[in-house]
Structures are given as structure tokens and as C-alpha cells.
Amino acid sequence: MSKKDKAKKAADLERLRLQFPGTYSDFVAGRIASLRPALKIAGLRPERSQLQKMKNAWKKAQDNERRAFGEWLLTQESPVSAPPAEPAARALIANGRYLLPETIFDIETIMKARGMTPSDVMQEMGFGRNDRTLLKAMARKTSLRLKVIEALGQWIESHKDTVPKP
């Protein structure tokens, strides 16, 4: 826990003690399991939305769990927010903002077959030739902008005939 988190927790605990002594005593006695529910009961912190809970769970998930969830999500049909047919049919190329190892292999295969560098790929996708984000993402496993990931997915899709099938 960072210093900032500890300071926030201490401030929340002190505020609970001063403004809501009954809830504070229940928390200290163990009748309320943790600080968050105590703050919720006191009205000092609102209930987290489902989206916030899903984001938190996503951060804690391992790579194989994220990949399995992504595959499951593509199979689900939702009448309210169904994604367009073409992007749903496309394979996952990134885990969040980080390229998957299979994607890096596919990019390297296409680049080798076409005699290209990461700078050439960035230029072909419509970004600046001096943009080194793809090179860094492939070599150092750094994150990419979502716009680059989307363009990269389309680029790979358009050159998938270059990638050998397993």
C-alpha cells in the first residue's frame, strides 16, 4: 500500500471515528468486516458501480484469465450493445494495451516477409515514421495507444495471408 493510500485510509478512519462513532465502534469490534462497508454504511463512500468492480477484477486477472474472458465475450450476444460484426470476428491482438506474444510473432513474420521495419509499419498504418511505439511494444513489452492497437489489428488482418497457418 502506498503512502498516499495509507494517508487516505487513515483520514477516512478518523472521519468515521469523529462523525459516526457508532459505526466506528462496530468496525473496531469486527462487526463490520472492513473499512469500505463501514464508510458505505456511514454514507461517506458510495457503492462502487459494476463497471468499477469489473475494472478492478480485470486488473487482478492473469493473462490466461483475461484471454479466456475475451474469447467468452466474443461469443456472447447482447441486443443492447452488440459490437459490429467485423471487429468481433477479428482475433484478439492485445491484452489491454499490451501486445500478445502471438501478435508480436505475426507482426515479425509479416515484416520479415515484406522486408519492413516497425517504422515502415507505423507509416503504412498512417502514423509518423519516427513514431517508435510499435518497436518499443515489441521489444520492451511497453503499452500502446488504443488507436495504434486498432490500426494494427486492421493491418494484420489485411496481411494475414503472409502469416503461415499452424
Task: Give the count of beta carbons closer than 10 Å to the beta carbon of residue 50.
Answer: 8
Number of independent structural domains in the chain: 2
CB 143 within 8 A of CB 98: yes
Burial of 23 (0-12, 13-18, 19+ CB in 10 A): buried
Angle, in degrees to the nearest 10, between helices 21-29 and 3-19:
120
Q: Please report whether residue 79 resides in a domain.
A: no
* 14 in any annotated domain: yes
Contact yes or no for 121/155 (Cβ under 8 A): yes
Alpha helices in the chain, H assignment, sequence order:
3-19, 21-29, 35-42, 50-60, 63-75, 85-89, 101-114, 118-124, 133-139, 146-158
Rounded distance between C-alpha atoms, residue 28 and residue 21, angstroms:
10
Q: What is the pLDDT of residues 79-103, one digit of tens each?
A: 555 455 444 445 788 888 889 888 9
* Cell (9 digits) for 123: 507509416
Is there a domain that residue 64 lies in?
Answer: no
Q: What is the pLDDT of residues 13-53, one digit of tens each?
A: 999 999 999 999 999 999 998 998 899 888 888 888 899 88
Residue 111 lies in a domain: yes
Residue 72 lies in a domain: no
Residues 36 and 107 in one domain: no
| Domain-located, residue 13 | yes
Same structural domain for residues 31 and 99? no
Q: Which residue has the higher pLDDT, 91 or 139?
A: 139
Residue-wise pLDDT tens digits, 44-84: 888 888 998 899 999 999 999 988 888 888 888 765 554 55
Range of the domain at 29: 3-47
C-alpha cell at 96: 489491454
59 within domain boundaries: no
Report yes or no on 133 lying in a domain.
yes
User: Within this chain, do residues 94 and 166 fall inside the same structural domain, yes or no?
Assistant: yes
Q: 103 and 165: one domain? A: yes
